Structure 1
Amino acid sequence: MLLGLINYVRGWVRVEIRGAAIERFLNLCAQNDIAFWDVRRLAPDVVQATVRIQGFRQLRHFTRRMMCSVHIVKKRGVPFHTHRLLPRVALWGGALVCAGALLAATRFLWVVDVTGCDHTLQAEALRLAEEAGLRPGVGKNKVDSEEVRSYVMTHSDNFSFVAVNINGSQAQILAYGRKETPEMVPVDEPCDVVADKDGIIESIRIKAGLGMKKAGDTVVQGDILVTGTMVSALDEVRQVHAMADVTLRTWHTLEQVMPTKVQTKVPTGREKVRRFLVIGSRRIQLSFVEKEPFPCYDILMEEKQLKLTENTPLPVKLVTERYVEYTPKDYVVTQETAEKVMEQRLEELLELTLPEAQVESRQFQCQYEVPFARSALQVECREQAGVLQEVSGISRKTTEEGND
């Protein structure tokens, strides 16, 4: 295969040799380094063979000596195609213009991608990068990766890490969002431990401060569990940084509503396709589809970025819109399916809203009707409770009640 490719690049000629001394003619050519291949005898005095262009030009010196004639059957290779296209000035000029345009396109950035964060932060990173000068269509020599990174970091507090990498005609922004950290109270600052949820105290272990509640007490959000203000028997007030481990028994109810009469889409198998090129903000239609091809249809869109190389995308996208026809059909969800789907959704909602809670028991209820079904998930949990809050003063009487 490799030898065939080399011969095609050099060019070869398929010839027909006629004469009474064909064997002597071939031997003479071999002595003069003229190589033949794919030699086939068609008749006692007729042979077909393949020879390179350089060897073919030397054959006329030996045909006269051996009283043989050589005729061209076919010729293939790059030199013949080049010779045929050489007079076409417009073609070569267009090729040079295209090559120059592609070369010029590699000096610009055509794609800017953001990875490592959610869609909201991606949009913010793209906006800040554009303000810093990084946008599709800008010259690569006008973009300083370090300046763009510094601009994004200094103009937003939502990023913990930003890196800008330029590879070919593509700019890749790697951005990580900053995680929210709870506001910490310095250990030398007096504070109280306050309930941040409703429930019944299952256990309370005081590390510093004075307990205002005990195990078995019912608390609501905002109640002081442990105070940092301590009053001695001599009415001496001392304020400390209260600390405690508090576990509450809590109850939560999650609700879900689901339609039981829905409309499904049944594909008919018919579809139409529209294709167009997007160059910058301009769209060039490659195929046409009427405005409303079907009474009911879905549009499936696919975009393909054209690339010169893997790291050199072109400012051209091939967009394919596929119009798929469907027939609407009413469908009633069964009670078993509705209960299964809603219970699964409520479990996912429970994991999302109470990720750190330890669920002790749960009870699922469903009221099935048409066109809607309602469900509720009641859970009993064990949760860590208590947040730090600015210390509040207490009297001697309150202290005595807390100690009791």
Structure 2
Amino acid sequence: MDFDFSDDQQQLRDAVARWVDKGYGFERRQSIAKQGGFSREAWNELAELGLTALTVPESYGGLGQGAVDAMVVMEELGRGLVMEPLAQAFVASAVLSQFGSDALKQSWLPGIASGEKLVVLATQERKARYRLDICEAKATKTADGYAVDATKSIVPAGDQADAFIVPAQLDGKIALFLVESGAAGLSARGYATQDESRAADLLCRDAAATLITTNGLTALTLAQDVANAALCAEGVGVMEQTLKLTTEYMNQRKQFGVAIASFQALRHRVADMKMQLELARSMSYYATLKLGAPAEERHTAIARAKVQLGQSMRYVGQQSVQLHGGIGVTDEYVGSHYFKRLTQMEMTGGDTLHHLATVSAKMQENAGVFA
């Protein structure tokens, strides 16, 4: 099996890497963080690079690229700690392409591709604890369509989005709806998260909505799997840069007149960080390649990847702080922001224990036993 990236994918990686290096430095990121954690200008720059159109079908103005291309992009955005939620464009295009009506596709996919429309997933509820099948939101049929009554938490860039993909109970079954930001009865309270990106709590009170699909749990699982695969790829980029920062610091920091990188005990810890990074990278590749598999196989694969990524992100982040010493947690130093991002990512889209439970539940009685 050939695991090499194609020339087009390598060129895509290089283009995103150049933008990250030249257009999204630490100073700009800090400026965006002070402004609230989301920049429409930076989002438009991602759109100009064609990244918002990456996975949108060509028939709707997109580039029609696959999951591997999205993974390549997310790795590079992770390396630069880019806060704008590009993964939500991948999620929205996947859900609408596979489950939306022709009218819904015509209305929203071209806008998602051009970057004019930011459509985000609003699924988390207080009592759900990452479970997608627990949903207290309600939807009712109206003369003009549907109305949704829901409270959703930690919605990515929720007060900046143009529309939301919202799961709600319809006739005793989870369905998926599109709610526009200007709908009457909808409000969003925005705030900065621990890693300085932007999120919001979404409140819908009989807000007008368009039905995407009555097969909501299946569509919602796909959406979460796409989001988690993108998160895994982003995590690889964040860890890669964290390791780079750590080794650079160790080569500069001196103790007893020599660089601390020469201390054997510390070199062993860096080697363990590198091993965790490579384990995470392989599982990120695995998750991406499984996005086209049948639903149950795909969901189990994503859970496996998220378990490894969670363990790796926690280890790499904590070791980096310890090897840096006090400077590793100061706000002025870029390394502390990588640590905060890794910490938050471990709990996003289901924490390690949640996904470990999913993997365990899918194990068969003869797991690990060879006849």
When normalised by structure 2's length, the TM-score is 0.18
Higher Cα radius of gyration: 1
When normalised by structure 1's length, the TM-score is 0.17
More strand by share: 1
More helix by share: 2
Q: Which has the higher contact order (CA 8 A, sep 6+)?
A: 2
